[in-house]
Amino acid sequence: MIHLALKPACIALAISVAISTNVQATEKTDMEHLTIFGNEHNVNNAPGSAHVLSEKELEKFDYSDIMRTLTSVPGVYVLEEDGYGLRPNIGMRGTGQNRSEKVTIMEDGVLAAPAPYASPSAYYFPTASRMQSIEVLKGTSSAMYGPRTTGGVINLLSRQIPQEDLAGKLSLSLGQDGYNKVHGFVGGSGKNIASVFEVHRYQADGFKDINHTDKGTGFVKNDIMTKVLLRSDASAAYYQELEFKLKYADEDSDETYIGLTAEDFSSDPYQRYSASQLDNMSTEHKQLQLNHLIQLSPRFVLGTSAYHNDFSRNWYKTSKIAGKSLGSGGVEVAAAFDAQENVDNSISVDVKANNRDYLAQGIQTVLDADFDDHQVKFGVRYHEDEMDRYQWVDKYNLDSAYEMILTSAGVPGTDSNRIDSAKALAVYVHDEYTVGDFIINAGLRYEDMTIERHDWGKSDVARTASPAHKKNDVDVWLPSLALSYRVNNELLLLGGVQKGFAPPAPGNTDSENEESMNYEFGLRYQDNAFNGEAIAFISDYENMHGNCTASQNCDDENIGNQYNAGEVSVSGLEVKAGYEFVTSSLTIPFDITYTLTNTEFDNSFDSDFWGSVVKGDELPYLPEQQLQLTAGIVGDNWRTDLLIRYLAEMRTNAGQSGIPADEKIASRTVVDLSTSYELDNNQTVKLSVDNLLDEDYMVSRTHGSIMVGKPRTLSASYQYSF
């Protein structure tokens, strides 16, 4: 694989090009192959569950946390962790949420996870609050995007180049717990060249306090992006566009996996144990993407994207306390040490450098063919990715003054020393065939992939000997079929079936794919004031995967391995509806989102990952019900929106009937408020309150300890646009 280093001079050149564009009036850019739907109108005709969160929708609450944003989409589940959405956990239709590993994540039409085939757990996620819109697709058409097709697809669309001669925006935010955000862009379009340059930075001091220390629990995250577009004359024999996208991002966050005991959570849910004071995540992400479009004829358009993503991270975090792992008594030791009134002893603390480098690159092309009644897409993608784990453990003493004293520095490569890699070729064809009021969507996807692991063990840090080698060769055919019927201009009936798939990881010694048959049927209704849809779904797994990560209590030896759960059944109902009251002076919009989910293991087994499972057990971390209600009042130059989010109780381990108290995440209702006022055509001020009622709520039981959600947080912002 070819590694790309983004030199400062390259960034400076891109910035120079972006701000020196010769701006003139121009036609609209047509890079539709970077989107799922092309435009928002197409969503209403999609054969399955489909949603677009437009720029206008995203600006209502202006969330920096993608998980708060996505709760407006039915069938999407989120598992909070740090309170700011730095490490999103997103699932769809019962897939599980851990590190969003079961969902296909894209930015501008290309895979965004650090290593989506070889190591799908997404410790990098594109910054949500710099996105211009977000597309979410579940069901039959999601097979076009792969490699994981059971749950669905999230495509985040970055800042598009403005169509005006010159346009831009600057947004400044300040809030509680040291929260602040600076977000701005400037760009414009000329006849043959267009560009945009964007900067996004946000940070906070954190809402937790580390016991007996003044160490921070906050973060800072930066994003810089530029795009330059070259286009031919509109009169050219073959109209073409070539877009260069260059992006850099970094993060420094003092996050931990150490939660609280039940007793400490009850007394002060926003404390952290002193043993976690050195925990820190540092990341760096670089991306180069080239997009090309050519109009071959009035019937044929070819869109191609080449991409290169380079991501590195080191999560330096406590792994053992007094020789005990976090899930085997270490958290209790940390709690007892902090609770001592007169400390005259010390305890040992192991802090592991979870150091990893990722690389993902590829090229993909889509031919759109217009055959009148048949709208056909032919797609091909060649993709390579890898994860290089080169880790070590430093040993400390936590002394009576609550200071961490280094006693033994680890040697890089002596904890984990391996490379997981993948090469994959994907080909698909999708046909949308219109016959009167019927629309038939038929698709077929083929994936051929090789996934490997080369492991040098803990003693060969120089990687001089031949490594232990595991290899999975996989090829699979994935058909899909959907039927829509247009009853009238307002009502659409829909249904479909598809084969779901996820590839085995190199640590899956049984080399079993995750495969399922997925069904959906429902209706979509839309008129001027009311819109709504109700879709029932069934996912019948022949085999479900569980991927072992540190966030799921896996011990050091098993992290990165994959376990099979066999047959699993997931079914549910997704409902979304909106209505807009209009008076002479006010508009009052309402929106409701509801998801009902039933899950069940269809076989009994014992597993290092799932534990002891009995047929009929429910899956962990999947609430049966979740509901969100949004209501607003909109005036001529102001608006206020209230969001009420309810999540039913859920279990943290597989089981059935009543949930044991130490395995329960209690139900919760969280309310958010946002109000904005337009000072004039260019200036807007906004006041936002997350968790308005200051609900103290549990979000997970990581390593058997409790993690808390974000408390009430107030922020104010000023926005200037031109």
User: How does pLDDT run across 667-681, given as a tens digit for each residue?
Assistant: 999 999 999 999 999
The pair phi, psi for residue 672, each rounded to 5°, is -120, 150
Q: Which amino acid is at 476?
A: V
Whole-number Å distance between alpha carbons of 188 and 115: 34
Q: What's at 268, amino acid-wise? A: D
Other Cβ atoms less than 10 A from the Cβ of 252: the count is: 14
| The one-letter amino acid at 683 | Q
Q: How many percent of the chain have pLDDT more than 70?
A: 93
Q: What is the DSSP letter of 661?
A: G
pLDDT in tens, 484-495: 999 999 999 999
| Residue 518 pLDDT greater than 80, yes or no | yes
Question: Domains in the chain and their CATH numbers?
Answer: 8-721 (2.40.170.20)
The dihedral over CA atoms of 34, 52, 641, 158, expressed in degrees to the nearest 10, equals: -10
Q: Phi, psi at residue 653, to the nearest 5°?
A: -130, 155
Rounded mean pLDDT of 133-147? 88
Q: Are 293 and 33 in contact (CB under 8 A)?
A: yes
Give pLDDT, residue 40.
67
- The distance from CA 453 to its chain's CA centroid, rounded to whole angstroms, is 25
* C-alpha to C-alpha distance for 186 and 242, rounded to whole angstroms: 20
Transcribe 107-126 into DSSP letters: ETTEE-SSBTTTB---S---
Question: In which band, very low, low, confident or very high, does the pLDDT at 505 lie, cut at 50, 70 and 90?
Answer: confident
Give the model's pLDDT for residue 556: 58
pLDDT band, residue 122 (cuts 50/70/90): confident
Quote the pTM value: 0.93
pLDDT at 506: 79
Chain segment 248-271, per-residue pLDDT in tens: 999 999 999 999 999 999 999 999
Mean pLDDT for the chain overall: 91
Q: Which residues contact 687 (CB under 8 A, 6 or more apart)?
A: 674, 675, 676, 714, 715, 716
Convert 710-721 to b/e letters by CB count within 10 Å (16 or more is b).
bbbbbbebebee
Residues with Cβ within 8 Å of 352's Cβ and at least 6 positions away in sequence, in order, are 316, 317, 318, 319, 391, 392, 393, 394, 415, 556
Closest CA to 82 of 276, 275, 350, 266: 276
Cβ neighbors of 104 (< 8 A, separation 6 or more) are 111, 116, 142, 145, 146, 147, 148, 149, 151, 152, 153, 154
Grade residue 555 by pLDDT with cuts at 50, 70 and 90.
low
| pLDDT for 142 | 79
Q: Is the pLDDT of residue 9 over 60?
A: no
User: From the DSSP assignment, how many helices (H) and strands (E) are in the chain?
Assistant: 6, 41
Amino acid 189: pLDDT: 97
Give the residues across from 202 on adjacent strands.
181, 221
Local confidence band at 554 (pLDDT 50, 70, 90 cut-offs): low
How far apart CA 430 and CA 439 sit, in angstroms, is: 13
pLDDT value at position 45? 82
Q: Predicted confidence band at 28 (pLDDT cuts at 50, 70, 90)?
A: very low
